[in-house]
Structure 1
């Protein structure tokens, strides 16, 4: 690292002497959101710069002599609601954007209107975080991976154990999240995702294509169903309609090539391809698994005319995870004993058609998603003997979705109504050795086809002075899996949001809602030894009621502090018959969850408070700090007592900031601290049985002592240094990212491990036991990364 840093500094100095920072134009068009016509005499300013322009009769504006950087634009005019745009990157070429404004018929002449980057949403006035380009591009320790970026927000836990991106929000499980890409639902956002959950070691989305992210930790919009803990709504950039460009990035785990531009006068495009070298990094670190991945992403947008547009987008990935049997030291011996080889392929194709008809906007969304998951495991990783086979899983999930929406504006009211129709296919051919009360073998084939349908609507009201907003939403979903899930009235999901501007600085907001989620396909398609769907008559939609109340204080457009309390009450959560713990307490490891006998009797609750402080100074500082205090608990039934869930960290603290120096230098730091997670001691007697150990290759927990122990708290510090050079027609950027710069170690409970030697070989097979040993477990290491970006 010292040599790399010295070489980088020398190279930067040489280029700095030879280059001069270019300047560009920021151009664009301002249109009326309803009529789609151009707007004249609109003031457009660049936040943080004393630069601006006024639109002409065709709605065009041009701002001259703008240096490269990341900017927001503000558009204001009497008679229209002021607009603050998302962030845009001005790099190697002129920036051309489109701004939509809504008419404000009640605004009085001479009223001075200020805009703010801290936007408020009528439907979700609480529990919504908007993530812009500065955070995506510069967040320390995240390496432009969205799953890691959101881990610095209130209510989001991070796992210091292993290299995973599990999204754990407000005490919920990793399986309770949903993801959207320009309105198209995608099944997961990580490579090597756990089937039935959402985590993995690295994100599948290329940050070069993302404009901003709406991250909902509650108060979910009615058009986005089937979520209990969070919704991530990604907004992609549009291709440049004036010039084509290419961008290459060498990141922490992959090399990527992206391009954006136009195809003719009406069509723009975005495309990217990435290839990982993560296996080399993991091999150098001596990790027991070697993952490789390839992914591709594209977006094509055609504007037929002012009233009609079509978006076609796609996302796909190919993953392979091999076992690094060379890393057979004691630290890795345990993971190698149970972790399977994993091969996954996934893709989503979708189209979004929008028709603008004055105050009415119609949208039709059609998509198809596919995932193929193949897991294989042999005892002691010896594939030479077929009798050593412990697991062979071949599974596919496919979803075809159709959604229609109509959004209409009537003065202070906005009404959105819609329907959705989905068809899901799930196949699974599984051979698996298990040990319950004796050694057993699951050997079955599943085919499951499910038709799903839903109806949703939202009524939004905004007062004339914008001080009061209200939103009433309702959706309901059903499917033909079973009679319990077929009735729409069983899944009625109402939600109400209210917000009031108490003073110029203070606002009070709240939300209450009831939300449902379908259990994973792995659970719905699980078959028993008789070849029947084992969970068909015991599973129902999972349910959570959520309440949030928050107060916000804002100072101008640079500072915001908010305090928000939340309460989540879970019901009808699938309970594992074998382990006697909720399925919601699983899902943060590789493999599959849900493929077991379950019943919908578990309940849970999670409650706490979140403090968030954000300080933004355009072109200078982006600082955010959050503190979450909470409890997450579950019980097996109404008669049971609550116990700590697997996600009950109790507290999460984050302090993250990036400071921008002159000459395109920036420095960022993140401090993260999280409370210790509960853990369960091992059942040494059961784990030592030869037949039990050989079934899964790892020890068994003593579920009578479930989560009665707790790990210590963990603190991690990450830093990042960026330097960017803007030459005549290209950009060259470097960054150094140091994760866990203090090399903090998280000590975990010793794990039980078989020595492979039988203590009583003379005993019957079912009574033979391995001699066991204890292996110390701790994680945490300094992980340096050098990133290079080139754009032309």
Structure 2
């Protein structure tokens, strides 16, 4: 069947190859960002080429006869800063792109301006990466999933060998320390089947067709993006087409998607996308022990009432259903082990919001109103036998919702840019839990109900100074945050969060950049709402905001417009982090499994640190070749309370190395290759004595760890090679694309920690304790994850 498919595929390609390639126009209008007025007689060219035109008297331009592909525009003119736009794709029709430019306050000075797509920021001159369309579309092994795309960047680790997990682990931080924004609207997670209280899942929610570019911060977080300790992903979405309507359909190995892009009337544009997965078919072919299925939808509507007023309304939602594959290979003990502990998961999540912007010259006001909701239901029966209620080990019913309001004002006052604002949020958390457990050598049942309502509030501000030609920039910002959960959190001055950034052009094209700051994050609602004996036990334990003091220092060398070499050293100190009462392990070292994380008794007493050095070389090699190379050495540790000494956290991989290259071949073929090396993760030996107790094993169907030996073992280094091949045909008004994406093409196997399992055979020991005979089985992960996709746009 594979041979027949390949022959048919090549025949189709050969037939389409006889058609000629179409050419289109790029057109639009250039306006002043502050006054919103048209900018006449400035140059607009395709970045990196000499092909371009000059705008007319009312700011319009048309660049004709452009072959399909991915481009940027460069806009330059007397009195304005040279601007390079984000990437965009010309595919099946003429493309409209309106460009905003900023006035150059040093216009009378003799300065040399080099246009670049890297676009440094005074507030975040370090630890900020701008991810463009081509990296998202063509990144090998990522399948257009942003959580996998960022794995190419320095400091970003992942759960090794689990190609079906999207946990985001940045600079030694846990999966709960990341925040996500869509056009300024906060969303709680970006993955289907996410772990409540953390993140991750088998596939992303956000449709890549909506994304223009992503600002990825691994430090130096902007003051208006709070509640993050490890990373912020700030997605900037495209606008709908104001002149025509188009439809794009994509058929992949795991989903079918339909996207429409167009306008409702002259001032209003829209984007809408619906995706339906059949991921369960792929997982069934791979004989995975679980079969996920999902549906998601997105929309964006933008109305420009006038030059000064615009309103954006957007929404994103998902329906997730993960069932167990009871037909998985009964002889595969590893898969049977997963099958016996993994719950059935049903999730619903959505975010809707509106962003209003008012442009008043050098002042811009932004108002954001949004609501997000997550419903998470997990159910588990012992041995997956639902025939009797006594077999029920977990019934978890939980939902959390947040209503957000944020208002801010951005003012440009000569060389100083000032941004200030406030946020007010209302949060609800509901939980109904029945869970069998084994604690302190005794079987027990956790059964509680939580109805938590909370008001959160905050203020933020920043002032950034940019000197002549960006030779020196400085920024100071702050946040204060509080809520009414308890007396430990209600005073926002206790969460005063200052940050300072500096950048200086030492010599030629070498820049020295730095940031120092204090950041706070609220513990997960699963932790705040956990109850014992009807009491919010963590509230009584003095649960408070997690604090992280961070410093980053680095140098950057700029090779003209197209390349950057950067080296950064970072240090993060964690205090007041939640520490598990039961096992004395930080909750930040948990959260990369399905279900929920953080729902246990904890105290805000954990202390930890993460530090390391990152190197990245990034090259946009014109029309042909893009390269990203990164290496990170880091340590992630926390203090063991019993000894007062630092020991490795769960994310202490030490080494991360990535080479990612994308090459454009003739006749619209694209080739991508990625090599990734991840150092071995630490692991904890199992407590064979406790795990073998019948009541202990029956409660969870999982072994128990010996936390006195926490992370004293270490796994081997893992390497992976990903491959992607694209072929695109362009006809008049139609784009047809095929792609093959192969994750772990060499089928590398990763030897995880051998797992301790029950044989099912019982016996009574000398102390009269009923036990199972136990054994260890190999746990190998890593397999080829293939995706064959077809895309049609018209």
TM class, shorter-chain normalised?
over 0.9
| Structure 2 match to 1:420 | 423
1:163-562 to 2 correspondence within 5 Å? 163-327=164-328, 328=330, 329-437=332-440, 438-562=442-566
* 1:583 matched to 2:583: no
| Structure 2 match to 1:52 | 52
| Structure 2 match to 1:746 | 750
| Structure 1 match to 2:78 | 78
Inter-partner Cα distance in structure 2 for 1:714 and 1:532: 42
**Deviation string for 1:89-140 (max 9, x for gaps)?**
1111111111111111322377553201121011100000110000010000
- After TM superposition, give the deviation of residue 639 of structure 1 in Å: 6.2
* 1:709 matched to 2:713: yes
SS in structure 1 opposite 2:531? Answer: coil
| Structure 1 match to 2:140 | 140
**Taking structure 1 as reference, are residues 679 and 762 closer, same or farther at Cα in structure 2, changes over 3 Å only?**
closer
| Structure 1 match to 2:778 | 776
Mapped contact 2:512–2:555 kept (Cα < 8 A):
yes
1:68-147 to 2 correspondence within 5 Å? 68-108=68-108, 111-147=111-147
Tell me which moved more, 109-118 or 581-590.
109-118
Inter-partner Cα distance in structure 2 for 1:144 and 1:606: 30
Mapped contact 1:143–1:251 kept (Cα < 8 A):
no
Superposition TM-score, scaled by structure 2 size: 0.98
SS in structure 1 opposite 2:523? Answer: coil
Inter-partner Cα distance in structure 2 for 1:599 and 1:191: 30
- After TM superposition, give the deviation of residue 638 of structure 1 in Å: 9.7
Inter-partner Cα distance in structure 2 for 1:349 and 1:272: 15
| Structure 1 match to 2:651 | 647
Inter-partner Cα distance in structure 2 for 1:282 and 1:105: 57
Match of 1:720 among 721, 724, 732: 724
Mapped contact 1:40–1:56 kept (Cα < 8 A):
yes
Inter-partner Cα distance in structure 2 for 1:460 and 1:59: 30
- After TM superposition, give the deviation of residue 298 of structure 1 in Å: 0.4
- After TM superposition, give the deviation of residue 273 of structure 1 in Å: 0.3
SS in structure 2 opposite 1:465? Answer: helix
Inter-partner Cα distance in structure 1 for 2:642 and 2:566: 35
Inter-partner Cα distance in structure 2 for 1:194 and 1:652: 24
Inter-partner Cα distance in structure 2 for 1:638 and 1:552: 42
Mapped contact 1:601–1:636 kept (Cα < 8 A):
no
| Structure 2 match to 1:656 | 660
SS in structure 2 opposite 1:769? Answer: strand
1:566-581 to 2 correspondence within 5 Å? 566-581=570-585
SS in structure 1 opposite 2:786? Answer: strand
SS in structure 2 opposite 1:134? Answer: helix
Mapped contact 2:122–2:464 kept (Cα < 8 A):
yes
Inter-partner Cα distance in structure 2 for 1:505 and 1:498: 16
Unaligned stretches of 5+ in structure 2? Answer: none
| Structure 2 match to 1:39 | 39
| Structure 2 match to 1:603 | 607
- After TM superposition, give the deviation of residue 181 of structure 1 in Å: 0.3
| Structure 2 match to 1:23 | 23
- After TM superposition, give the deviation of residue 488 of structure 1 in Å: 1.2
Mapped contact 2:96–2:241 kept (Cα < 8 A):
yes
Unaligned stretches of 5+ in structure 1? Answer: none
- After TM superposition, give the deviation of residue 762 of structure 1 in Å: 11
* 1:630 matched to 2:634: yes
Inter-partner Cα distance in structure 1 for 2:586 and 2:112: 55
- After TM superposition, give the deviation of residue 534 of structure 1 in Å: 4.0
Inter-partner Cα distance in structure 2 for 1:337 and 1:431: 18
Inter-partner Cα distance in structure 2 for 1:245 and 1:226: 38
Tell me which moved more, 749-758 or 33-42.
749-758
SS in structure 2 opposite 1:190? Answer: coil
**Taking structure 1 as reference, are residues 350 and 373 closer, same or farther at Cα in structure 2, changes over 3 Å only?**
same
Inter-partner Cα distance in structure 1 for 2:469 and 2:629: 31
Inter-partner Cα distance in structure 2 for 1:59 and 1:140: 39
Inter-partner Cα distance in structure 1 for 2:753 and 2:523: 31
- What number of residue pairs does the alignment pair up? 789
- After TM superposition, give the deviation of residue 2 of structure 1 in Å: 4.5
- After TM superposition, give the deviation of residue 780 of structure 1 in Å: 1.2
Mapped contact 2:758–2:774 kept (Cα < 8 A):
yes
- After TM superposition, give the deviation of residue 763 of structure 1 in Å: 7.7
* 1:616 matched to 2:620: yes
Mapped contact 2:538–2:603 kept (Cα < 8 A):
no
Inter-partner Cα distance in structure 1 for 2:551 and 2:3: 51
- After TM superposition, give the deviation of residue 537 of structure 1 in Å: 3.7
SS in structure 1 opposite 2:226? Answer: coil
- After TM superposition, give the deviation of residue 761 of structure 1 in Å: 9.1
Mapped contact 2:113–2:469 kept (Cα < 8 A):
no
- After TM superposition, give the deviation of residue 464 of structure 1 in Å: 2.6
| Structure 1 match to 2:676 | 672
| Structure 2 match to 1:788 | 790
**Deviation string for 1:709-762 (max 9, x for gaps)?**
000000000111110000111000001112111111111221111122211299
SS in structure 2 opposite 1:312? Answer: strand
Inter-partner Cα distance in structure 1 for 2:540 and 2:368: 30
Inter-partner Cα distance in structure 1 for 2:767 and 2:790: 62
Tell me which moved more, 736-745 or 382-391.
736-745
Mapped contact 2:180–2:187 kept (Cα < 8 A):
yes
**Taking structure 1 as reference, are residues 214 and 762 closer, same or farther at Cα in structure 2, changes over 3 Å only?**
same
Mapped contact 2:537–2:601 kept (Cα < 8 A):
no
Inter-partner Cα distance in structure 2 for 1:513 and 1:531: 36
Tell me which moved more, 480-489 or 531-540.
531-540
**Taking structure 1 as reference, are residues 412 and 639 closer, same or farther at Cα in structure 2, changes over 3 Å only?**
farther
- After TM superposition, give the deviation of residue 50 of structure 1 in Å: 2.8
CA RMSD, 1 decimal? 1.3
Tell me which moved more, 325-334 or 194-203.
325-334
- After TM superposition, give the deviation of residue 4 of structure 1 in Å: 3.4
Superposition TM-score, scaled by structure 1 size: 0.98
